[in-house]
Amino acid sequence: MDKTQVQAYVDEVWPYVVHDIASLVAIDSVEDPSTAAPGKPWGDGPAEALKEAMRIARRLGFETHNLDGAIGYAELPGEKADEPLATIAHVDVVPGGDGWDTDPFDLQQRDGYLVGRGVLDDKGPWVLSLYAAEFFRRQGAPLRHPIHVIAGANEETGMGDVETYLTQVGEPWFLFTPDADFPVGHGEKGTFTSVFSTSDIAGAPLLALTGGTVRNAVPRKAEALLSVAPESLAGLEIPDCIEVLPGDEPGTTRVVATGIGGHAAMPEGTVNAIGLLADFLWENHLYGPHQERFLAFERLLCSDTTGEHLDIACEDERLGALTTCAGVVRTEDGRFTQTVDIRYPEETTAEHLHAKLFRAAELHGCTMARPEVQEPYYQDADSPFVEALLGAYGDATGEAAEPYTMGGGTYARHFANGLSFGPERPDPDAPAWVGAIHGPNEAVSEERMKEALAIYIDAIARLQQL
């Protein structure tokens, strides 16, 4: 691969790359079941983002396929028509949330960074993979394997889109997803998610609890509504993470907790706002006797991210340690509900987790919904596909990189021959305002993204030779 030619291409197309990322970021593509209908199974936003992705691909000259609004792909023909080389990224996003310096759905260029919801997870990487394929379309030389640049519309809330592609198109020869860290991810922990519910115990003094946006993110904000006047809390010691505010109705108080948000699969360094709120309410007896067990359960769920206090902590050599996240608390019809998102290694089983959590919920007066489970996923680290991707990354960065396993769940686990492949990387030079995926001020370095585009081009060239 001629690096000079690739770099010239990256420099030429970069303004168009940014423009196309912006057009996708502008669409609030959070799942909305209330607007779901035929042709838009996850609501208006994801369907519109998928249409926009296909419009971008058609403008560049690709043949496109929108599969019932669930998933789509841009296609570049190749000799082995039944053995496509595929990339897959998603155009749905988590909610914008609060804490942003700018509108999360208006892409900004600031200090050499792209800022907006989805610039890194995962609209930006989808555009990179499309422009990597565009490099080969421009070359015009016959490809051994067709290229499918797949755009999913349901990654954040279940990956229900994959089955449509597999049913209507079939398994690709090989696939990588640009929805993870560099260099190469070859294993993922299992995922175990469920919802706990109380009976109708919401009421004086704890009228309502609200916190978090999605179950796979550590919540930055959580709020309680109390049936007491704000002045009755005047004598309490209020920590910096807590605000006490008047409620909308006379004689009520809002207690707002602020933590540090982040991805459920990578909870290190986060602070769960639900746990901060539960601790404050507990320590100041701001609950009724009928609410005590649930509040104790909230504190238990949020007390650590290892599962130690739930008696489910474990780890293994291949996939690492189990993590837990209590992501969303709500008040519905007088009942409190709380989600849990667990990433687990091969050392344990979903059945064991279910038994432990069911018992903990029962002891605290809660019911537990049937869990949704994805088993752990692992590919051999010495496969030629891993070597090809590592080679492309190493040539570009000069790093002697090694493949890794992770807690995040990507599209790769749903395919027989898939790996995760960047473009996320530690960025020690990032300004203090730069936020992470699933948090406020989601941002990524333009230079890092340019480098990723060159890496993807090289990787596709190497894979075409296998």
What residues form DSSP beta bridges with 423?
Answer: 180
C-beta atoms surrounding 13 within 10 Å: 18
pLDDT at 225: 98
Kindly state whether residues 314 and 291 are assigned to the same domain.
yes
Kindly state whether residues 206 and 308 are assigned to the same domain.
yes
Cα separation, 209 vs 294, in Å, equals 11
| Residue (of 88, 103, 111, 106) closest to 22 by Cα position | 106
CATH number at residue 287: 3.30.70.360
Kindly state whether residues 325 and 199 are assigned to the same domain.
yes
Say if CB 154 and CB 70 are below 8 A apart.
yes
Domain boundary among 356, 374, 392: 374
Kindly state whether residues 307 and 400 are assigned to the same domain.
no
CATH number at residue 454: 3.40.630.10
Domain boundary among 354, 374, 394: 374
Kindly state whether residues 227 and 181 are assigned to the same domain.
no
What residues form DSSP beta bridges with 221?
Answer: 258
How do 190-197 and 335-344 pair as beta strands? antiparallel
- How does pLDDT run across 14-27, given as a tens digit for each residue? 999 999 999 999 99
pLDDT at 373: 94
Kindly state whether residues 429 and 328 are assigned to the same domain.
no
Kindly state whether residues 142 and 248 are assigned to the same domain.
no
Kindly state whether residues 23 and 146 are assigned to the same domain.
yes
Cα separation, 21 vs 231, in Å, equals 49
Q: How many domains does the chain have?
A: 2
Kindly state whether residues 89 and 205 are assigned to the same domain.
no
Q: Which residue has the tokens 């759905």?
A: 105
Could you give the residue ranges of the DSSP H alpha helices within 303-429? 350-363, 384-397
3-class DSSP state of 269: coil
C-beta atoms surrounding 34 within 10 Å: 7
| Residue (of 75, 96, 68) closest to 154 by Cα position | 68
Kindly state whether residues 209 and 235 are assigned to the same domain.
yes
Structural domain harbouring 329: 191-374
Kindly state whether residues 455 and 388 are assigned to the same domain.
yes
- How does pLDDT run across 19-53, given as a tens digit for each residue? 999 999 999 999 999 999 999 999 999 999 999 99
| Residue (of 235, 363, 376) closest to 301 by Cα position | 363
Kindly state whether residues 368 and 410 are assigned to the same domain.
no
pLDDT by residue for the chain (466 residues), tens only, comes to: 799 999 999 999 999 999 999 999 999 999 999 999 999 999 999 999 999 999 999 999 999 999 999 999 999 999 999 999 999 999 999 999 889 999 999 999 999 999 999 999 999 999 999 999 999 999 998 999 999 999 999 999 889 999 999 999 999 999 999 999 999 999 999 999 999 999 999 999 999 999 998 898 899 999 999 999 999 999 999 999 999 999 999 999 999 999 999 889 889 999 999 999 999 999 999 999 999 999 999 999 999 999 999 999 999 999 999 999 999 999 999 999 999 999 999 999 999 999 999 999 999 999 999 999 999 999 999 999 999 999 999 999 999 889 999 887 899 999 999 999 999 988 999 999 999 888 899 999 999 999 999 999 999 999 999 9
- Looking from the CA of 119 toward its CB, the CA atoms found within 13 Å total 28
